[in-house]
Chain A
Amino acid sequence: MQVMEMDTANREPTGVREEIAAGWRAVLPACVAVIPLGLALGVLVVHSGLAWWWAPVLGAIVFAGTMEFLLVGLLAAAAPLAQIAVSTLLVNFRHVFYAISFPLHRVRGAGWKAYSTFALTDEAYALTVTPESAEWSRARILSIQGFFHLAWVVCVAVGAGVGSMIPPEVVGLEFAVTALFVVLGLEAYKVRRSLPIPALALACAILAALVSGENMLLIAMGMFAAALVCSYFFAAWRSRRA
């Protein structure tokens, strides 16, 4: 199996169609999993007072699920562009770490490399995190990213269409975003299973909300990031003394 894998990777120009099919098979479960989220985002766009066609535009250009949900709220509240920039920086900061294992060296050509980094979502990272992906062909990697991009835009557009049919008496759909963050938080908690970190974040969030409801996101994330940096230097200082 491994030999075959290496073989197809080295003969890149010949088996392009097979490689695209292999990419499609790899990404299909992720495309299915993302359907409810895409629909929810489309519904949210329409219910936030934005025109329905912003939904596919947003899905195609930003292509970072969690941030898109947050961005809809920020745009609807007419938040300053600087706040959008800093919120994106903090929410998407985790992507910095994906470069460590993503097989970008297999994607040759500046244009393709540009698209591949643009579409380096959590899902693209998760699907290429296995060691054998270091031997995958450009066609396979790009088809994984491209099909996922397409599926996301279609789901978001369909969601926007469905959303405009929901009567205005139905309120509270924005809770889907809260539920998404709570569930993603529980998943992130499973990585370390340590309570002090989420407790610290909760304290930062509540304190920031008391200081300023409007700027709480920036204040809370800033305090939390600063606290993490301090905890690193404190741990380093303690281990040096010990």
Chain B
Amino acid sequence: MPDPWYVLSGIAVSAAVTWALRAAPFAMLAPLRHSALMAHIGERMPVGMMVILAVYTLRDTDPVVAASAGPAVLALAITIGLHLWRGSMTLSIFAGTAAYVLATSVIAA
């Protein structure tokens, strides 16, 4: 189990950065509002960040080992397919995760 002081420092650092990002712009609102560069980045950043984060969470998946990549490919297909079809976040996440848990638990057993 990780050292509680380390966990607490990690939480504090993340909270401080989050709060700074939320509060600071109110102090310098005027220049931000008119920055075309910020608008350009702000519009394109979220989708890219989510792609990078999704790949990051799969970094331990070995693409050439079927037992490792198989459940991931199956669960991704279910999540994306369901989301494009029904558009319900809860349903897509729940069904994708259930498929992954089922496949990996059966393979591990």
Contacts and interface: CB of A to CB of B under 8 A. Distances in A.
Q: Which of A50, A179, A181, A184 has most B Cβ within 10 Å?
A: A179
Given A96-B32, A175-B97, A181 B21 contact: no
A192 interface: yes
A interface, by DSSP: helix, strand, loop or mixed? Answer: helix
A170 B102 CA distance: 8
Contact of B93 (A40, A76, A202, A209): A40
Contacts of B26: 99, 104, 117
Given A63-B18, A118-B22, A183 B79 contact: yes
A229 B37 contact: yes
Contacts of B38: 96-97
A192 B40 CA distance: 12
B69 interface: no
Contact of A171 (B40, B76, B92, B104): B104
Interface in A108-130: 114, 117-118, 120
A189 B71 CA distance: 25
Interface of A: 33, 36-37, 40, 49-51, 54, 57-58, 61-64, 66-67, 70-71, 73-76, 78-79, 81, 84-85, 88-100, 104, 114, 117-118, 120, 169-189, 191-192, 197-198, 200-202, 204-206, 208-209, 213, 216-217, 220-221, 224-225, 228-229, 231-232, 235-236
A186 B18 contact: no
Interface of B: 1-2, 6-7, 9-15, 17-19, 21-26, 29, 32-33, 36-38, 40-59, 71-72, 75-76, 79-80, 83-84, 89-90, 92-94, 96-97, 100-101, 103-105, 108-109
Contact of A186 (B71, B80, B105): B80
Contact of A172 (B52, B84, B100): B100
13 contacts: A36-B93, A50-B7, A88-B17, A91-B53, A95-B25, A99-B26, A171-B101, A172-B103, A185-B50, A185-B54, A186-B84, A228-B45, A232-B36
B18 A95 contact: yes
